[in-house]
Chain A
Amino acid sequence: MSCLNFNVSHVLSQLNLCQYLPFHRQEIMKWNGWGYSDSRFLFNKKGQAEFTGKRYKLSGMIIPGLKEWFEGTFGANLQHKSPPILNSSAVRPPTLNEAFVEELKSTGVPFSHDAEDRVFRAYGHCVHEIFALREGRIGRVPDLVVWPNCHNDVVKIVELACKHNVCLIPYGGGTSVSSALECPSEETRSIVSLDTSQMNRILWIDEKNLTAHVEAGIVGQDLERLLNESGYCTGHEPDSMEFSSLGGWVATRASGMKKNIYGNIEDLVVHIKMVTPRGVIEKSCQGPRMSTGPDVHHFILGSEGTLGVVTEVTMKIRPMPEYQKYGSVVFPNFEQGVACLREVAKQVTPDFYLIFSSGHALKPQVSSIFTSFLDGLKKIYITKFKGFDPNRLCVATLLFEGNREKVLQHEKQVYDIAAKFGGLAAGEDNGQRGYMLTFVIAYLRDLGMDYYVMGESFETSVPWDRVLDICQNVKARIVHECKERGVQFTPLSTCRVTQTYDAGACVYFYFGFNYRGLSDPVHVYEQVEHAAREEILANGGSLSHHHGVGKLRKEWMSETVSNVGIGMLKSVKDYVDPNNIFGNRNLF
């Protein structure tokens, strides 16, 4: 199959100026916000919103409408700023285990106990974590950071940690949103953050079997770029793929937006190597499927760093798609959009299409941020002639990949179904824009935090018949709880369907509010998110579709998997890591 140049990474190739992640990530990335230091939203002197830097398509552009949307949605005001307090000197000195450090030196593995390195690895991207950092409040952080270069380095580090009873916390891309990276406050041992970023090579590509053997520290964009150079891709593209790592994907059961074509991480993985306190676990062959008792890979997938460090992974790869086409559909309302997605999931073979968004997230106000989502004419057409209510509109963005003929065939099929549900094709540009937005949207939260607006997204998976009910109820619960807790402005409470399955869908909720006048906004935020999660569970939603449990959601684990289930997980932990070397205390 011949490969054309056109593919998704032409977006990404512009993103990344430096090749791999450096040892000191704070040199290019924010330590108290999302992404690259040079890329951020700000309101310039004229009061216009602007996205800085050169990495993204949006970089250097003025974004009309963002100010109005921002002020209108949150009641925020550009006069009321809440800038971060820069204070990285509040870091407590490290508690070092001297014997461990001595022996580590002799292995030659690089390490550091520099305060900035340690702080950078103490947090993920939950709102409470970022908020604390912006306020200059720094709690327990790792005492040491090590950078193994390969599998054998990890083996040595884990052996030493066991020998000297040191707590290890694996660190990949650092994009956790489950408090998984937080150092347990009750931990008295020396905590070592094991940064996998230097294990970032593709070790081999097997073109006969279409697999690649890759070191687990590689981040998504590097993996994709390197494979593309050989004409291949994995197709695994989580929203965080610029920064998240292969090992992290395995450890959290990650999901990508193209999973309908390529599968989720558990479908993509053929072989995993993990270093545990008991030794190395791996299967003896690369057979595509086995009937050998419960699949031991499933002890590793989703183990969230509690059992060991994933060092190498064999993954399925595919030739880069011959043809790719974006698309978008506007629906009169969310209900119709969901009904259409459900029908598409029923009828269309999943091989070649992708539908990834439906919901109010791209309401016209929001999307008008991004230049001309609904340019004048089209807007009139949609709202006046078709009787669409602009406040209830909902957009689905589509991406078709593969053989040209089949792409076109499936495209037609999807648009035909959409038409039955009142959907109007809204063009390729909108589809592509929506797709690109995925990567910059995470930067918006930092802008909000500059102006007393706090926001977060969280997800769940739910059977089809409950999608609409869960959306309605969780959104209502958020508004309700905010009111109850004295939030003065109506919060942003919206949702979208991001993944479809045969038996259900993945739903994302977006929640943001103006916290002026609240004495403890983080606490309010946490209470609301907690209530929202309870609502999700009461509505038949799962505890998490792909973000994981971490420490943020572990209180619900036993009701989620039953007490027996917890017992099973614990007994594995007790066998593999009896001294709790991998002591991040995630999951249970």
Chain B
Amino acid sequence: MTHTHRASGRAGPEHDEEFVDILEERRRSSDLGHALRTFNPHPYRGAPPCSTADLNKAVLESQYLRYVAKEIAMETGSSEEDVREEARGILEEMSQNLQLRFIRLMGYTLTKVFKRLFTGIFVNMEGLGTLQQAIQEAPVILMPNHRSYVDFLVISYILFTYDIPVPVIAAGIPLAGMKMVGEILRRSGAFFIRRAIGSDKLYWAVLSEYVKTIVRKGYAPMEFYVEGLRSRTLKSVTPKLGMMHMVLEPYFKSEVFDITLVPVSISYDRVLEESLLAHELLGVPKPKESTAGLLKAGKVLQEDYGTMHVNFGRPLSVRQLCQGKINRCQYNSAPRDLPQKPTEEAQACVSWLAHLMVRIQDEGSVISPWSLMACLLLQAPMAVLTEEGLPWERLAERTLWLRRLALDCGAGLNWPGQTPDSDVMSSAVALHRSVVYRRAGRVYLLQQEEPARKRPISPEEAVMRIATAVLMLASYRNQSLHVFARPALLATALHITKSTQRDELFACFCFLQDVFSYEFILVPGELSQDFEEACVLLEKCGAVHISQQEVTLSDMGLEALSFLRALIQPFIDSYQVMFRYLSEEGDPVLTEKQLVPAVRNRATKLILSGELRTYEALSSDTLKNALSALQRLEAVTKLRTPEQNEYKVNSAAVGRIGDILSGTIPPQMLQTTPDARL
């Protein structure tokens, strides 16, 4: 009986939830029957159905768009009619055209695809039940994380199967450009948003009115990725606030009584795009989304990707969450349709909520045994992984140790209880034979063979080959990183400060959080709670003793502390490469295009000379995050030039941050303003 299982260990109300494999029934009955099933959902009580034409008409005729059109006409000197015509064009490109027929088509296709790819798609039925209820009571926003293109329609698929209204989904415009597929997605409820909207006022206006109208009408749930894009590292991404603000505004302005947010955590045993992502991170450009590309992916469909978990979180009332955080009276003195800059209060509230959603998505994700193994594999010296091999027994023993630590930290693990532990771990390694292999009781990193090599491989190329595997491994480690992030930052602070004083540790903890704010997504304004949480968790796993003033190390906890520190170390090392490069570089103005390859070159040299141990310094995501952090800490300023992003570097400031990170100078509190980009 393997069709249901429990995710164990997670704290909170979702504790011990039952997951059911929804593919099980599909394997037993007709796919066509499923696609043609009677679909009879209960929609939001207050809302009559709304056709695409009615929706678009409401948007175009809205007072808000009229104001904006008038403004733009004045600014550009064109006629209001032209501006509105342009708006109509934007809307046409954007709008979804949800049709049940296409949902059925989509359902049929996805059943075929999913059955081939996955051994199971596990869904928490209780979450679906509460969602069904919630959808009748208020407009619902589904907020999944995004780790693979596969999950784009999976929620629609599940909702269709369980008679829950199918959502309209915010998607990136490249998908719309795919022949046929774009149109099918559109009719399955996708609406398309351009990338890099920047300061295109009319586009923003059309998009925001479109989103707000859907929320106000509430006839269908809305789904969007608060992270804005698919995470290429399987790690949560700093949430984008624009869309979040649009979605919340109807509540802020009292146009709806409440809005329900439903975080959804989608977790994979194995991600289809794993090697593609690693190549991208190493600077091999991402192929443009195209239908042909999708068909070529046929090879990908031959492989086994284990299971997928879709965990529907508890529905959250925006009204309740925003209590005391937003004063709705601020919208009382001007027409609500008037375009207005959001107040600081509103921005802070949006940012807080967006981060909170990411945190809940993290907490709801289901962690595989493989992810724990990846954490440990990455901590082994590279020579061991590539040449000597890591003894299987050692890895297995450490994994079981780590399982305990993860459970202590409140992780939701997907560790089958009925199967012997050794079999669980063996099958995890077998599933990931694209990354590691096991031979003669030892585990090795797989380095991909290049077909038909003409010349001997250069040292730089060898580095890249290892890096590909390392970054894949790092992605799987990242799946469980959020579980350990807080205690790991504290463990690092203990190491850097060599202090036991709580206030010194807290200062260092804050500094680390500041520097790594793009790596570990913490909720803004809750640093002291995070610190407390970190203390409690470290104490719980026996690593420290906590008193009023002090955090002292315990002899029992050295293994945990060194594991946690080693988890952060690759980030520190990678950032230091970037910091050193910038503080040594004479030229104070750089473009991002130059910078990333230059630092990557430097890192490659350092790896070859043995000075740098982590291959993660080669990842463009890591480097860009480091650059963003420097910007946030005001050591680097972005210069707005029309052609490309240029950065002005304050070498001294960068150097200082590097020194604090290495512990040579003590951390002073770096004051930064809360990050609120809309």
CA distance A293 to B228 in the complex (A): 59
Q: Per-residue 0/1 for B324-335: is the Cβ within 8 Å of any A Cβ (1 yes, 0 no)?
A: 000111011001
Chain B residue with Cβ nearest A476:
B257
- A519-546 residues at the B interface, CB under 8 angstroms: 537-540
How many of chain A's residues touch chain B, expressed as a range?
Answer: 10 to 19
Please name the 9 residue pairs, one residue from A and one from B, whose CB atoms are nearest each other, closest first: A538-B328, A476-B257, A540-B332, A539-B254, A473-B257, A469-B254, A469-B255, A473-B254, A538-B329
- A439-483 residues at the B interface, CB under 8 angstroms: 465-466, 469-470, 472-473, 476-477
Contacts of A539 in B (CB 8 A): 254, 328
B336 at the interface (CB under 8 A from A): yes
Chain B residue with Cβ nearest A537:
B329
Contacts of B331 in A (CB 8 A): 540
Closest CB of chain B to A555's CB: distance in Å?
14
- A472-498 residues at the B interface, CB under 8 angstroms: 472-473, 476-477
Contacts of A537 in B (CB 8 A): 329
Closest CB of chain A to B49's CB: distance in Å?
15
List 16 A-B residue pairs with CB atoms under 8 Å apart, sorted by A's residue number.
A465-B335, A466-B336, A469-B254, A469-B255, A470-B254, A473-B254, A476-B257, A476-B258, A538-B327, A538-B328, A538-B329, A539-B254, A539-B328, A540-B331, A540-B332, A559-B329
Contacts of A538 in B (CB 8 A): 254, 327-329
Contacts of A477 in B (CB 8 A): 257
Contacts of A540 in B (CB 8 A): 254, 329, 331-332
Interface size on B, residues (CB 8 A): 14
CB < 8 Å: which of A465, A466, A472 contacts B257?
A472
Chain B residue with Cβ nearest A470:
B254
Closest CB of chain A to B162's CB: distance in Å?
26
Closest CB of chain B to A40's CB: distance in Å?
37
Contacts beyond the supplied A473-B256, A477-B257: 19 A-B pairs with Cβ under 8 Å: A465-B336, A465-B337, A466-B336, A469-B255, A472-B46, A472-B257, A473-B254, A473-B257, A476-B258, A537-B329, A538-B254, A538-B327, A538-B328, A538-B329, A539-B254, A540-B254, A540-B329, A540-B331, A559-B329
Q: Per-residue 0/1 for B246-259: is the Cβ within 8 Å of any A Cβ (1 yes, 0 no)?
A: 00000000111110
CA distance A469 to B332 in the complex (A): 13
- A197-242 residues at the B interface, CB under 8 angstroms: none
A residues adjacent to B (C-beta < 8 A): 465-466, 469-470, 472-473, 476-477, 537-540, 559
CA distance A393 to B254 in the complex (A): 24
Of the listed residues A465, A466, A537, A538, the one surrounded by the most CB atoms of chain B closer than 10 A to its CB is: A538
Contacts of B327 in A (CB 8 A): 538
Closest CB of chain A to B339's CB: distance in Å?
16
Contacts of A473 in B (CB 8 A): 254, 256-257
CA distance A413 to B255 in the complex (A): 32
Contacts of A470 in B (CB 8 A): 254
CA distance A438 to B331 in the complex (A): 35
CA distance A540 to B257 in the complex (A): 14
Q: Per-residue 0/1 for B462-503: is the Cβ within 8 Å of any A Cβ (1 yes, 0 no)?
A: 000000000000000000000000000000000000000000
CA distance A472 to B46 in the complex (A): 10
CA distance A469 to B216 in the complex (A): 11
CA distance A538 to B329 in the complex (A): 5
CA distance A559 to B327 in the complex (A): 12
CA distance A465 to B255 in the complex (A): 10
CA distance A473 to B250 in the complex (A): 12
- B320-364 residues at the A interface, CB under 8 angstroms: 327-329, 331-332, 335-337
Chain B residue with Cβ nearest A540:
B332
Closest CB of chain A to B522's CB: distance in Å?
30
Q: Per-residue 0/1 for B289-332: is the Cβ within 8 Å of any A Cβ (1 yes, 0 no)?
A: 00000000000000000000000000000000000000111011
Closest CB of chain A to B283's CB: distance in Å?
51
Contacts of A476 in B (CB 8 A): 257-258
CA distance A538 to B256 in the complex (A): 12
Chain A residue with Cβ nearest B63:
A465
CA distance A469 to B251 in the complex (A): 11
Chain A residue with Cβ nearest B250:
A469
Contacts of B46 in A (CB 8 A): 472
CA distance A559 to B329 in the complex (A): 10
Chain B residue with Cβ nearest A473:
B257
CA distance A559 to B256 in the complex (A): 23
Closest CB of chain A to B299's CB: distance in Å?
53
CA distance A559 to B328 in the complex (A): 13
CA distance A469 to B46 in the complex (A): 12
Closest CB of chain A to B448's CB: distance in Å?
58
- B116-136 residues at the A interface, CB under 8 angstroms: none
Chain B residue with Cβ nearest A468:
B255
Q: Once the chains bind, are A466 and B329 in contact (CB under 8 Å)?
A: no
CA distance A470 to B254 in the complex (A): 8
CA distance A410 to B327 in the complex (A): 43
Chain B residue with Cβ nearest A462:
B332
CA distance A472 to B255 in the complex (A): 9
Contacts of A466 in B (CB 8 A): 254, 336
Contacts of B337 in A (CB 8 A): 465
Closest CB of chain A to B38's CB: distance in Å?
25
Chain B residue with Cβ nearest A560:
B329
CA distance A540 to B335 in the complex (A): 10
CA distance A539 to B327 in the complex (A): 11
CA distance A539 to B256 in the complex (A): 10
Closest CB of chain A to B152's CB: distance in Å?
34
